[in-house]
Structure 1
Amino acid sequence: MRSPTRISSPQSSHPHSGSPGVHYSNPYEELAELADPYDPDDPLGLGPTSEDDDADLGGRRGKPVSSGSAEADDGEAWSPPNHRRASRRRRGRFKAVPRTAKALIGLLVLALLLVLGDRCAVMYAERQAEQELQKKLDLATAPNVTIHGFPFLTQVLGKHLQQVDIAVPDVAADRVSLAEVRAQAQGIRIVGDLPSSFRGAVVSRMKGDVLLSFEDLSRELGASQVRFRALGPSSVRADGKLPVAGQQVSLHAQAHIQRQGDRGISTSVTDMRLDIPGIASYRPGPEPRAGLYLHKKAATRISEDSEKARALLAIPSVAEKLGVPPAEAGQALNDGQKLDRITGSPRFVPALLAVNLVRAANDHPDLARKLGIDPMVAAALTRLKVPELTDKLELSFQLPKKAKGIRLANIGVSPEGIRADLVGAELNFGKTR
């Protein structure tokens, strides 16, 4: 076993030691002497941390404090740091803000509240107006109302609105529906008080437009078989299919837009034809324009087909319309060279295109078959009447009777559909007296 350390000291001796002059020391006391002196202001030895500590220490940072004394050099007794001081300082910072800044902040908050209240009032008024318009005009869909101008509440107090925009979708108009009606009302004088006792309004001036879309025309008039598109500034083209005697024929027509008074629009259908694809076209109506006429390609094929050419020349009325005398036509029936001279003439195809085959197809079914025309289809086409066909394509609409004082202007055709401007002045809505 290791013996305890002995340190000789001539000046001290342990009272219980057996030998004078021998001193036993404690090693932990020696380590304590090597450590930094204890600082009551920093008992954990962390050192200074912030400027707030300087304030808490009263400006004593950097001054040595005796470990054996309970007071600092300036005589002030040491006390633990007061952490509540920092929170009091933070609460006091708002008091340090100038009164002008506080007033500005307050005004800003008040302005935000006023704006929010004004916008809420606008939305409520717009909602009420939408419901009222839908009921008064008997609309299937509620319109979209937008009230312009700020602030709104001052306009209400003055009973005068600067501008109100209205958009109404799907307005019924006779056989079709208007895809969209847009109106901009300006200078609106309110009769009554909003919103409790509102009775009506007087609009100083109004402008807007209506759209009759081609998509709606195709769906409501063409029953998904006819498509409408713009043809010119005042014309519409209609193309589609029509069942005739169990066969689909192509339908083509033009509709010209015209004004019907100052509150309506109508169309007149012209240049209608029904095509048997690749063979002939039928134009309904009175002669001489109406009738069944071959296509140019079909006429060219007939001029090159001896059998079909002989079938045409065998009918005297047809040969006469082709400009072939009866005797010459009779010779061509048995003389191939004669037939080739007739059909090879540059005048044959144009003459054949001008021949109306309605009667020939009806009276000579075999001829119709040789030409590629179904006799039953040809007969059904001749029975079609112009009013029946145009009724499928003609359209008209009038503005609602309840929209008094509004008239149509500048009617035209756009890529989307038929458009017309709306104008009006001094319009009364509701009870204005």
Structure 2
Amino acid sequence: MRALRIWGIALVVLAALFVAVDRVAVYIAESQAENRVEIPGTRIGSTDISVRGFPFLTQLAGSELDEVDVRLTGIETRAGGRTLRISTLDAELRDVRLTDGFSGAVADRATGTVVISYEDLTKAASDGVKVEYGGKNKVKVTGTVNVLGRPISRSVLSTVTLLDGRTVRVHADKVPGEGIPGLEKLVREKTDFEREVGGLPNGLKLERIQPTEDGLEISGTGTGVRLAG
């Protein structure tokens, strides 16, 4: 009986040691992976990676991870000759294959959500244009135009849509003209615009856009999504 108790204690200790070693390995892997995430043509402010599933060591031995959550913050890329900054990109990766000696990672399936703040969207718009939340799934766009040498400012409620899974289109529902010839055309040249959302991992396609108080929230899915290597 005593021998069985000793073996039982030993198994508990070994199990605890295995869990501890496994968790340390996860921490080290996450830290190393955060330094390796790259998206061509972009600059990433910070990266946070969480590897899910247990045990991690057996997943690592098979070069495939069940679940990986990634948050990228402050992604900067060029769009329409201007810098478009993505505030956050949250991605849930599934069945992630490690490649190139663990320097690369490709997810068979992925879902992701991008948030672009109105401040950053304003910077990506035309000069003299301000973009804000307009409520009820709309954005408010304010622009100033010159009519016969006189500056005229107009604010419009605009609908935001996605084109080709990569481009944000902002289009005013209605422009107050007040009988001034050509005013609507001038205002739309300022307030209506399209900007490509670059800086996304290859394989991730945007599918749905939603204006919120915090910014434009854009979600999408993808297959064969590459985040590193």
- In the superposition, the TM-score normalised over structure 1's length comes to 0.44
User: Shift of the alpha carbon at 1:221?
Assistant: 4.9
Counterpart of 2:221 in structure 1 is: 423
Counterpart of 1:254 in structure 2 is: 157
User: Shift of the alpha carbon at 1:177?
Assistant: 1.4
User: Are 2:88 and 1:180 aligned?
Assistant: yes
Structure 1 residues 227, 421: CA separation in 2 closer, same or farther (over 3 Å shift)?
Answer: closer
- In the superposition, the TM-score normalised over structure 2's length comes to 0.78
Q: Give the whole-Å Cα distance in 2 for the aligned partners of 1:135 and 1:227.
A: 27
Structure 1 residues 407, 285: CA separation in 2 closer, same or farther (over 3 Å shift)?
Answer: farther
Contact 1:209 1:419 in 2 (8 A): yes
User: Shift of the alpha carbon at 1:205?
Assistant: 0.8
Contact 2:38 2:228 in 1 (8 A): no
Q: Give the whole-Å Cα distance in 2 for the aligned partners of 1:427 and 1:220.
A: 26
Counterpart of 1:99 in structure 2 is: 3
User: Shift of the alpha carbon at 1:387?
Assistant: 6.0
Q: Give the whole-Å Cα distance in 1 for the aligned partners of 2:188 and 2:127.
A: 18
Structure 1 residues 218, 400: CA separation in 2 closer, same or farther (over 3 Å shift)?
Answer: closer
User: Are 2:181 and 1:396 aligned?
Assistant: no
1:85-110 superposed Cα distances (whole Å, 9 cap, x missing partner)? xxxxxxxxxxxx93333333322222
User: Are 2:166 and 1:263 aligned?
Assistant: yes
Deviates more, 1:158-167 or 1:422-431: 422-431
Contact 2:126 2:190 in 1 (8 A): no
Contact 2:25 2:56 in 1 (8 A): yes
Q: Give the whole-Å Cα distance in 1 for the aligned partners of 2:128 and 2:29.
A: 41
1:193-247 superposed Cα distances (whole Å, 9 cap, x missing partner)? xxxx3253332111111112234335665999845013333x312358x6989x9
Q: Give the whole-Å Cα distance in 2 for the aligned partners of 1:101 and 1:428.
A: 50
- Percentage of identical aligned residues: 24
1:108-141 superposed Cα distances (whole Å, 9 cap, x missing partner)? 2222222121111111111121111147664331
Contact 1:147 1:164 in 2 (8 A): yes
Amino acid at match of 1:414: T
Counterpart of 1:386 in structure 2 is: 187
Q: Which has the larger radius of gyration?
A: 1
User: Are 2:66 and 1:162 aligned?
Assistant: yes
Contact 2:91 2:110 in 1 (8 A): yes
User: Shift of the alpha carbon at 1:185?
Assistant: 0.9
RCO higher in structure (CA 8 A, sep ≥6):
2
Q: 1:190 aligns with which of 94, 98, 103?
A: 98
Structure with bigger helix share is 1
Amino acid at match of 2:171: S
Pairs aligned (count):
223
Structure 1 residues 228, 283: CA separation in 2 closer, same or farther (over 3 Å shift)?
Answer: farther
Structure 1 residues 283, 152: CA separation in 2 closer, same or farther (over 3 Å shift)?
Answer: farther
Structure with bigger strand share is 2
The answer for unaligned runs of 5 or more in structure 2 is none
How does 1:34-49 map onto structure 2 within 5 Å?
A: none
Q: 1:405 aligns with which of 175, 195, 203?
A: 203
RMSD (Å) for aligned C-alpha atoms: 3.5
Amino acid at match of 2:49: V
How does 1:327-342 map onto structure 2 within 5 Å?
A: none
